[in-house]
Structure 1
Amino acid sequence: MENQEIGELKKHIKLQKLICKKYNSDFTSIDEKLFIGVSSNLELEPLNGLRHPKHGKMNGWYIWSGEWSDEDDFFIPLCLEHLIELKPKIAKYLGLDVGFRFLTDKKGYEDVWFDQNITELR
């Protein structure tokens, strides 16, 4: 890992810990080797995210824009690096613990909350 990448990683972790503190969440690091479920419509607003327990090759995060869909192909697996390239502003939320959700938009709206139901899904 190059110095610039290490610096970016430290910056993201610092912001993640601040968000966790702000919203009373434990900091839970993200396994960069696992995938994030991402909708193909990330250009829409608002941007939503929720963190399930990790399972298989998925790290538990699911990110989507616009309205939720129950279609089987709504989420595609994406690595952390590519997600941050597409949507760098959401990196600060990715340290939130299992059960947390976020909603944000380009105008600066931010809502973060804990949803117990997410922790109970199997």
Structure 2
Amino acid sequence: MEFLLRREKKLCQKYDSLSKPINKDLKVGISADLYLETLNGLRHNSEDGTTGWFIWSGKFEERDDFFKPICAEHLLKLKPEVLKYLGLDIGFRFLIGKDNYEDVWFDKKISNV
């Protein structure tokens, strides 16, 4: 587990983010099409037993039922490649895809929500 925390912290340093590890017992919002190739993630403030993370693949849709809650621990079994991003601070986003594509950025609009 300590190795995993080091990976999260290293990524946070790379993108000039505070390190805010998640509680793996809390919920993450995921889309039903999580098995498509490109994964997107964004972190809002956590509330009501959530990590603040929303993760999806495919086209984002503004529907109330687009995201379903899942325990973060279960998400990490389904998509272990997202683990190193989950320590990023509120307002950060990531996009990962084939051939080790990675884009991480801070979105000020998210941090103000």
- What TM-score range do you get, normalising by the shorter chain? over 0.9
Taking only aligned residues, the RMSD between alpha carbons, in angstroms, comes to 0.9
Using the size of structure 1 for normalisation, the TM-score is 0.88
Give distance in 2, aligned partners of 1:61 and 1:12. Answer: 18
Unpaired segments ≥5 residues, structure 1: 1-8
- Aligned partner (choices 88, 101, 109) of residue 109 of structure 1: 101
Matched, 1:49 2:67: no
Give distance in 2, aligned partners of 1:43 and 1:33. Answer: 22
- Deviation, 1:45, is 2.7
- Aligned partner (choices 78, 83, 104) of residue 91 of structure 1: 83
Q: How far does the alpha carbon of each residue in 1:99-119 deviate from its partner, in whole angstroms, 9 at most, with x for none?
A: 000000132100000001001
Kindly indicate whether the alpha-carbon contact (under 8 Å) linking 2:25 and 2:73 is maintained by their aligned counterparts in 1: no
- Deviation, 1:46, is 1.3
Runs of 4+ residues over 2 Å off in structure 1: none
- Deviation, 1:81, is 1.2
Give distance in 2, aligned partners of 1:68 and 1:87. Answer: 18
Kindly indicate whether the alpha-carbon contact (under 8 Å) linking 2:29 and 2:67 is maintained by their aligned counterparts in 1: yes
Q: Tell me what 1:82 maps to.
A: 74
Any idea what SS the aligned residue of 1:90 has?
A: helix
AA matched with 2:75: L
Give distance in 2, aligned partners of 1:103 and 1:23. Answer: 13
**Higher strand proportion (structure 1 or 2):** 2
Give distance in 2, aligned partners of 1:28 and 1:66. Answer: 27
Q: Tell me what 1:65 maps to.
A: 57
AA matched with 1:116: K
Kindly indicate whether the alpha-carbon contact (under 8 Å) linking 2:26 and 2:51 is maintained by their aligned counterparts in 1: yes
Give distance in 1, aligned partners of 2:75 and 2:98. Answer: 16
Unpaired segments ≥5 residues, structure 2: none
